[in-house]
Structure 1
């Protein structure tokens, strides 16, 4: 058996991308991290690590995050909030019956899906 320590994002601007995900998740940037560091750690339910790499993103992610609203927010409210933080919509897979998800891109183009909250699924 193994432990998963981090989900790691290769990126051009680690601190800026970590700040987007901090605002999206409410997680905390490690106090040991500086704005100019090549590695920035975001501490939360799942630790996210952002590492500076020289090459840009070229293809679709093979692994991505699925997220949903907490504290009573809906999928659609979260989509709007994430848009305001700098994400963009890649594909809208919401169905007329309320099911489905929205595939979004973070500021560096990493895909993630916004799903219905647990309350919406019940």
Structure 2
């Protein structure tokens, strides 16, 4: 069995997909347009794509599942600042004085996700 997509319920699929495209660098499907009820963010193989689907109800409680992202070409702190500049909000800061820890952010629709230290930071 192969995990094909991770599906995210949202109010505005194209707008949220565009935010995540800017965060990840992954493109939206060529078939998707503003106003579409579902939008696919195409991930590099073998990573599953992110499928954003419009639902009528808004987010009301903490996510039961979330993404933990690890930057590949920036530090954790640089990545946090970049993602905030794209429209995310700081939710919880779990950084420690010794450099370990993570930061929990919320995307424009309030979904929580974490940014951890990158491999270079972990090695030092």
| Category of TM-score, reference length = shorter chain | over 0.9
Q: Which runs of 5+ in 1 are unaligned?
A: none
Q: Which runs of 5+ in 2 are unaligned?
A: none
**Cα RMSD (Å):** 0.7
Match of 1:70 in 2: 72
Aligned mates of 2:9, 2:120 — CA distance in 1: 33
Aligned residues: 120
TM-score, scaled to structure 1 = 0.96
Match of 2:25 in 1: 26
Say which SS state the counterpart of residue 9 (structure 2) adopts.
strand
Match of 1:35 in 2: 34
TM-score, scaled to structure 2 = 0.94
Match of 2:105 in 1: 104
Could you list the per-position Cα deviations for residues 8-44 of structure 1 after superposition, in whole angstroms to 9, with x for gaps in the alignment?
1100000000000000000000001111110000001
Following TM superposition, where does structure 1 have runs of at least 4 consecutive aligned residues deviating by more than 4 angstroms? none
